[in-house]
Amino acid sequence: MLSVENLRVVYQEVISVLQGVSLKVPDGEITVLLGANGAGKTTLLRTIFGLLPVYDGKIIEGNVFLDGVSLNRFHSSVIVKKYRITYILEERPVFWYLTVDQNLKAAAFSRPNREISGEIARVLKIFPKLGSLMNTKAGFLSGGEQQMLTIGMALMTKPKILLLDEPSLGLAPLIGRELFGIIRNLNRDGLTIFLVEQNAHAALSVAARGYVIEGGRIVLDGTAQELIHNKDVREFYLGVAGGDQQRFRDAKRYKRRKRWL
């Protein structure tokens, strides 16, 4: 199981972004992390994946554990190859100037050569549409196609755990729904998924558990059902008005007062 314990992270030695985050991503489940812009969601994923040094960030306290082993010191290439965790960047990490075929092959860098064609066939079974686009440069694909390719590329690394950063960002609602269907299917096939989302409705509908992060702290956690029915989550993330009707101005003041803290 992937878990994070009391993690404190700073950028450039001074900018404190995560202030004691703890959470668990149980094997075989979809765990969702909700939070507003700038709450520190991407930073948490970078930390788990060993990318902090690239962004001049540092863990000053706490640990990322995978089955009891601390991952704090590992480079992302080790985390992919040995610990089988793959991270999908918020901006879709397809290589624009490579074809779809080349993208899939480049992503399989950590796999032995002989497994690659089998893996590609497996990915094409999940995303048949990519098959007809094999020789198209990824930069010319539509947003939805790029997202499919991204997930296909992540699968080429044969992950056990997938870290997804706002996969539905910028996708049309219909494609977004298709995407969450795919995420659910991948999970049914055994993939553990840690999903960062702003689209709380769709995310909670596929997740087993969820956390809410605010200002670098986890302020709420529970099963997806609990979160869906939580009054604050309903108000802030699902856009459902609270129980007793208030005037608009009151509601706004109430929101400002109640910043989860």
Partner 1 sequence: MMDFLQFFCSGLLNGLVYALLGLGLVLIFRASEAFNFAVGEFLVVGAFLFYFFYFNWGLPLLIALPLGLGAAGVFGGIVERSVIKPLMGRPHLSMTIITLGLSNILAGGLQATVGSNPYNFSVSLPDLTLDLGPLIFPSTNVWAGILSLAFFTMILLFLYKTRWGLVIQATSESQPKALCFGINAQSVLLLVWAIAAACIGASGIVISNLGALSSQISVVGLRAIPVVLIGGLDSIAGALVGGLIVGIAESLTGAYLEPAGLIGFKEVVPYFVLLIALFIRPYGLLGRVRIERV
User: Which residues lie near ligand ATP (CB under 6 A)?
Assistant: 11-12, 15, 17, 35, 37-43, 55-56, 90
> DSSP string covering 141-171, please?
S-HHHHHHHHHHHHHHT--SEEEEE-TTTT-
Interface size with partner 1, residues (CB under 8 A): 37
Please, what is the minimum distance in Å from the beta carbon of residue 86 to Mg ion? 17
How far is it, in rounded angstroms, from Cα 117 to Cα 145? Answer: 21
Pick between residue 154 and residue 202 the one whose CB is nearest to partner 1.
154
> Could you give the C-alpha distances from 195 to 45, 57, 167, in angstroms and in order?
10, 22, 8
Q: Which does 38 bind (CB under 5 to 8 A by kind): ligand ATP, partner 1, Mg ion, none?
A: ligand ATP
Q: Does 42 bind Mg ion (CB under 5 A)?
A: yes
Q: Does 99 bind partner 1 (CB under 8 A)?
A: no
Which one of 86, 147, 168, 199 is in contact with partner 1 (CB under 8 A)? 86
How far is it, in rounded angstroms, from Cα 12 to Cα 218? Answer: 23
Interface size with Mg ion, residues (CB under 5 A): 2
Residue span binding Mg ion (CB under 5 A) among the ranges 59-67, 85-93, 125-133, 171-179: 85-93
Which one of 24, 58, 81, 160 is in contact with partner 1 (CB under 8 A)? 81
> Could you give the C-alpha distances from 230 to 79, 198, 220, 257, in angstroms and in order?
35, 16, 10, 18
Which one of 54, 60, 240, 241 is in contact with partner 1 (CB under 8 A)? 54
Residue type for 210, please? G
Residue span binding partner 1 (CB under 8 A) among the ranges 25-33, 51-59, 123-131, 216-224: 51-59
How far is it, in rounded angstroms, from Cα 235 to Cα 218? Answer: 18
260: left (phi over 0), alpha (psi -120 to 50) or beta: left
Pick between residue 108 and residue 179 the one whose CB is nearest to Mg ion.
179
How far is it, in rounded angstroms, from Cα 104 to Cα 115? Answer: 12
Q: Does 31 bind Mg ion (CB under 5 A)?
A: no
Pick between residue 17 and residue 228 the one whose CB is nearest to partner 1.
17
